[in-house]
Amino acid sequence: MIRRRAFVLSAAASASCAFDRRPRLNIYNWSSYIAADTIPNFERESGVRVRYGVYESNEEMLAKVMTGNSGWDIAFPTHNRIQPMAKNRLLASLDHALLPNLANLENRFQNPVWDPQLRYCIPYMWSATGIVYNRAIQPAPVGWSDLWSPRWNGRVTMLDDPEDVIGACLKKLRLPFDSIDPRELEAAKQAAIEQKRQIRAYLNAEARDQLVSGDVLAAQLWSTTSQQAMDASKALAFVYPFEGYPLYADNAVILRESTRQKLAHQFLNYLLRPEVAAAIVRTSETATCNGRAKVRQTPTLYPPPDILARGEWPAVLPASAQRLSDRIWTEIKSS
């Protein structure tokens, strides 16, 4: 079976090569993270043919890329996966001479904590987790602890994600978002179980519609999704919790397995052009790391420096802590 599949694939590949002799670049990105004309424009001006694939989670991408012969040249891991991937020798070092457009990156993304010299990655998009809420309910929330308040009458949702929920509980208790101390995690678990009785559900992107329709009055949600909800309903507002909150960035990387390093650099440099970055953001409704892109600036998508200072870039948990966190999450969910 495997042999037959390989045969069909190679037959198809050689057939298409016969017609198309352009070099090929394989790009693996998150779904809905690009504009419709980004790839066609690049193909036209570079004479390269692009194979573009999408994934829905870092795990899905890592599962393929970890093998070291995934066939992809470029991927977009989240910031806390960069060092682990570099340690596993999956990432190619970037040649900055081929990336003059790096200067377009916003200042704080020129030397991010997860890769200060940008040796392996180029920050692409970023977001944060905060609270989106209905202004009709007073007082407006200012921090995570407000999501434990009875004033929402049970119409609160939290993200269906252990890292974010346990992290918010830790922050409510004034502990670090990515703590691995068992006692601190135990305290966070108690807080989550207490909260579970009075919240409606654990929802991710589905929370958006329910906020707009008024079913849900407050939610722990990503800044980008919150902005989409706020665009649809004037009653909604967003706050970055005063206790601190997590920031996330997805980064473009070139895989070490790639045999087309030059081409890959050419594409990354193209992505860094202000007008290309702006077109992508208009489609994806996210926040770009490109400082020169002319895009809509809202305080939700691009908070001011004093608010940004409260944000944390969570690290990925080590295996033992991951296991503890998983058990705690299961316990919260089945409580």
Partner 1 sequence: MNLRSWFLVPARLTIGLFFAAPLAIVCGYSLLTRGDYGGAERPWTLENYTRLADPLYAQILLRSIAMAAAATLLCLVLGFPLALFISRAGKRKNLYLQLVVLPFWTSFLVRTYAWLFLLRDTGLVNTLLARAGLIHHPLALLYNNGAVLLGLVYGYLPFMVLPLYAALEKIDPALLEAAADLGARPLTAVRRVIIPLSRPGIVAGSILVFIPCLGAYLTPDLMGGGKTVMIGNLVQNQFTTSRDWPFGSAASLILLAFTSLLLYVFLRRAEVR
Q: Which residues bind partner 1 (CB under 8 A)?
A: 1, 57, 59, 62-63, 66, 81, 84-85, 88, 154-155, 157, 160-163, 196, 200-203, 206, 210, 213-215, 316, 318-319, 322-323, 326-327, 329-331, 333-334
Q: How far apart are CB 114 and partner 1 at their closest, in Å?
A: 15
Q: In 158-260, which ranges are continuous DSSP H helix?
A: 162-172, 182-196, 207-213, 223-232
Least gap, CB of 8 to partner 1 (angstroms): 16
Residue number, 259 or 334, with CB nearest to partner 1: 334
Write the DSSP string, 76-139. --BGGGHHHHHHTT-BPPP-GGG-GGGGGB-GGGTS-TTSTT-SSEEEEEEEEEEEEEETTSSS
C-beta of 16 vs 57, nearer to partner 1: 57
Q: How far is the CB of 37 from partner 1 (least distance, A)?
A: 30
> Cis (ω within 30 of 0) for the bond into 139?
yes
**C-alpha distance across the termini of the chain, in Å:** 46
Residue closer to partner 1 (CB basis): 305 or 318? 318
* Residue 203 beta carbon to partner 1: minimum distance, rounded to whole angstroms: 6
Place of tokens 């989409």: 228
Shortest distance (Å) from residue 107 CB to partner 1: 30
* Distance, CA of 164 to CA of 157 (rounded, Å): 12
Task: Please state the length of the chain.
Answer: 335
> Could you say which DSSP state residue 71 is in?
S
Q: Between 72 and 329, whose beta carbon lies closer to partner 1?
A: 329
Name the residue nearer to partner 1 (CB basis): 191 or 301: 191
